[in-house]
């Protein structure tokens, strides 16, 4: 089974990302930093944060879905905030996405926050909310099962050292995995752990 995990960076490397996932055609694609804006028609928008303007793809989830037509997509938002197309604000959600080839059956799954909770009115303060998605798959081709979990780790502006919040996040991830994974089959844990 081919499993790919990538930080999509909000689509900043859009053309290369779309080409890569289309060519790689993984069985399971786990993406972090994905955006979805149900009513945005623009290709690019800007994310404003602390003096930075980062180009983002508000419809990245739909664009990846179109590149992988033989896959089911699951979008798992952590927050809802604004991107900007000039002076026009675009409401968008930010989070994880998991794409599973339709020849594999998702027989169990869990989604939960490993830090904070859903922010419905803005991206949130640092360290921002983080979630994890865990799926258990049955491969009809191999008559086998496998559990896959992914998340995006906390970004702490002070650096990437160990903190109590990161330890709590790791424990929450283990708790989520234990709710889905039976313990007697393969387990893959991936993501951008920071």
pLDDT tens profile 59-105: 999 999 999 999 999 999 999 999 999 999 999 999 999 999 999 99
Q: Are 46 and 11 in contact (CB under 8 A)?
A: no
Residue 49 has a pLDDT of 82
What CATH number should be reported for the domain holding residue 144?
A: 3.60.10.10
How far is 29 from 60, CA to CA, in rounded Å?
A: 14
Q: Is the pLDDT of residue 7 over 90?
A: yes
How far is 192 from 194, CA to CA, in rounded Å?
A: 6
Can you tell me whether residue 86 is helix, strand or coil? coil
Residue 38 has a pLDDT of 80
Least confident among 109-113, 124-128, 136-140:
124-128
Peptide bond into 96 cis (omega under 30): no
Reported as a single tens digit per residue, the pLDDT across 24-38 is 999 999 999 999 998
How far is 23 from 1, CA to CA, in rounded Å?
A: 16
Number of compact structural domains in the chain: 1
Query: Where in the sequence is the domain holding 21, given as residue range(s)?
Result: 3-192
């Amino acid at each position: 089974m081919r499993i790919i995990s990538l930080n999509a960076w909000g689509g900043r490397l859009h053309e290369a990302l779309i080409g890569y996932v289309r060519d790689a055609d993984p069985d399971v694609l786990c993406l972090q930093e994905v955006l979805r804006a149900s009513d945005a028609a623009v290709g690019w928008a800007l994310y404003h944060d602390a003096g930075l303007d980062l180009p983002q793809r508000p419809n990245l989830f739909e664009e990846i879905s179109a590149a992988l037509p033989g896959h089911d997509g699951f979008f798992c938002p952590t927050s809802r905030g604004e991107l900007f197309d000039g002076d026009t604000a675009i409401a968008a959600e930010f989070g994880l996405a998991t794409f599973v080839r339709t020849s594999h059956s998702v027989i169990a799954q869990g989604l939960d926050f490993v830090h904070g909770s859903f922010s419905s009115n803005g991206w949130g303060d640092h360290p921002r909310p983080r979630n994890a998605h865990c799926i258990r798959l049955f491969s009809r081709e191999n008559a086998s099962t496998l559990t896959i979990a992914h998340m995006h780790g906390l970004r702490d502006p002070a650096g990437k050292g160990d903190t109590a919040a990161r330890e709590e996040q790791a424990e929450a991830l283990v708790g989520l995995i234990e709710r889905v994974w039976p313990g007697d089959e393969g387990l893959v844990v991936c993501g951008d752990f920071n």
